[in-house]
Structure 1
Amino acid sequence: MFKKILHVLATCLLSACVTSPTGRSQLVFMPDAQINQMGLQAFDNLKKQKPISTSSKYNQLANCIAGAITQETGGNWEIVVFEDASPNAFALPGNKIGVHTGMLTLVDNQDQLAAVIGHEIGHVLARHSNERASQEFAVSQGMGIIQAVSAPQTALGQTALGMLGLGAQYGILMPYSRTHESEADMIGVDLMAKAGFDPRQSINLWQKMEQASQGRQPLEFMSTHPSHATRIQDLEKHMPQAMGLFQQAQSQGKQPHCN
């Protein structure tokens, strides 16, 4: 019976393997329509709960930059500027983008904000929400199977399950989350470059974020985000490709003026 359950689960997981925009293999088996609906509902809730900025300057800047980038991706996107002093931004399935006023006051220019928005759009294009939901489902089901066939009432069984829980948290879910962040960086910097924004400003952005964190960022192993140093190093390695896209965009007359 146990082998049959594992066979069914393995078949399900193998059939759900897809490829991300960067060529990485992904485990994605949740219905996209369901994930998108969750994103739409969450965004509607946020708009009811959080104050929305009425600043024409902030709204024009955010929409101008997002509009230039989403021309490269297609689809209809909604962007909302929230009154929140924390330097943050996010994107949700269903093509929804939120930018905090704290992020707008942190960046120095349109290109740095383009790096932020491109990064968030990258999460959506790579279906990271679906992948995370699929991973968590697979881990919870895997733990359920082990609980069913082991002896959880014994001290040894309890110890084994505790170790499995720690392994599932730090060995599977959190590293994947760092992978998502790094992948969104690469997708985002290419998107901003294709739209005519200077990708070199993405490095300046993360240098500013490092300064803003003032050493409060947790150790990389225990964090769902790469360290700022790792992020900057990876972007520097990727920059020749991004600069090629930027130069091509410039030659095509793509020169956004959102400031």
Structure 2
Amino acid sequence: MKTWTKACCIAVITSAIAACSSSPTGRNQLILFSDAQMSQLGAQSFEQMKKEQKVSTDKAVNAYVQCVAKAITDHVPPQPEFSEWEVVVFDSDQVNAFALPGGKIGVYTGLLNVAVTPDQLATVIGHEVAHVLADHSNERLSQSQLANTGLQITNAALGGYQYRDVTMAALGVGVQYGVILPYGRTQESEADIVGLELMARSGFDPNQSVELWKNMAKASGGNQPPELLSTHPSHDTRISDLRAKTATLTKYDTFKPDCK
């Protein structure tokens, strides 16, 4: 092996080791990008989505989603790169929601046909915010770049068109752009746990998380692939895990948000 190749490999390995971090549940993570970089990516991607997708102008729906989201984010610790969470409701039949680094939350109106109560909507928003708090986007983008470019990516390249699809997918919004780079099962389960604690702390009923996923199972029409062929936990596994976690949650003496 040539000297420069050895040096490059050593540099990559050293950087990766130095970038090891821990998730909220104590799991080891590879984190290569700074909070500032990820917040910038999140903000850029969110602005792009607001231009390309229809934003709901329904005042009642917006007020309802904003109420639930604010109840959740009011219980999130202060973040180093932003002071406020921005929430946008997209007018779409997609049964989906997401949260991006930099404090950006998107909720699709189609989700409200499945998450039919404030507690169920809080389950989804808490889950998506948990992805941000656990640095899951950073982790996915770090793994992707380490595998594909050997850490030879700069701030300018991150924002460049050639990395748009990879970046959008890593942030959790790639499906809308024809790119599939989903969160893994471990990250999904971790977001379930952290999100459940967050919604309970915010005054919502964590038991409704089980009802939400029952609704999700019905909405999928039984078309979900077998668990071993999917990166997401199966509905049954998810429901079982949520029931077990709910049974161990601290009982928070918190005022229940009045979101209608």
Report the TM-score range of the alignment, normalised by the length of the smaller protein: 0.7 to 0.9
| Rg (Cα) greater in structure | 1
Asked if structure 2 preserves the Cα contact closer than 8 Å seen for 1:29 and 1:130, the reply is yes
- The letter for the 2-side match of 1:52 is V
**Structure 1 174/59 Cα, relative in aligned 2: closer, same or farther at 3 Å?**
closer
Alpha-carbon distance in 2 for matches of 1:118, 1:36 = 19
Query: Equivalences for 1:95-110 in 2 at 5 Å?
Result: 95-110=103-118
Please say if 1:126 is aligned against 2:129: no
Query: Which residue of 48, 52, 56 corresponds with 1:53?
Result: 56
Query: Equivalences for 1:77-156 in 2 at 5 Å?
Result: 77-141=85-149
Which blocks of at least 5 consecutive residues in structure 2 are unaligned?
Answer: 153-179
Q: What is the number of equivalent residue pairs in this alignment?
A: 224
Match of 2:173 in 1: none
Q: Kindly report structure 1 stretches of 4+ aligned residues shifted beyond 3 Å.
A: 1-6, 173-176
Per-residue deviation, residues 99-156 of structure 1 (Å, max 9, x unmatched): 01111122221100000000010011111111101011122256x9xxxxxxxxxxxx
More helix by share: 1
Alpha-carbon distance in 2 for matches of 1:48, 1:3 = 45
- The letter for the 2-side match of 1:115 is T
**Structure 1 110/32 Cα, relative in aligned 2: closer, same or farther at 3 Å?**
same
Alpha-carbon distance in 1 for matches of 2:66, 2:200 = 17
Asked if structure 2 preserves the Cα contact closer than 8 Å seen for 1:123 and 1:129, the reply is yes
Displacement of 1:231 after TM fit? 1.2
- Secondary structure of the structure 2 residue equivalent to 1:107: coil
Please say if 1:14 is aligned against 2:22: no
TM-score, normalisation: structure 1: 0.81
- Two-structure CA RMSD over aligned residues (Å): 2.0
Match of 2:26 in 1: 23
- Secondary structure of the structure 2 residue equivalent to 1:58: helix
Query: Which residue of 70, 75, 78 corresponds with 1:72?
Result: 75
Asked if structure 2 preserves the Cα contact closer than 8 Å seen for 1:174 and 1:223, the reply is no
- The letter for the 2-side match of 1:65 is V
The percent identity for this pair of structures is 49
Which segment drifts farther, 36-45 or 193-202?
A: 36-45
Alpha-carbon distance in 2 for matches of 1:140, 1:233 = 36
Alpha-carbon distance in 2 for matches of 1:78, 1:69 = 13
TM-score, normalisation: structure 2: 0.80
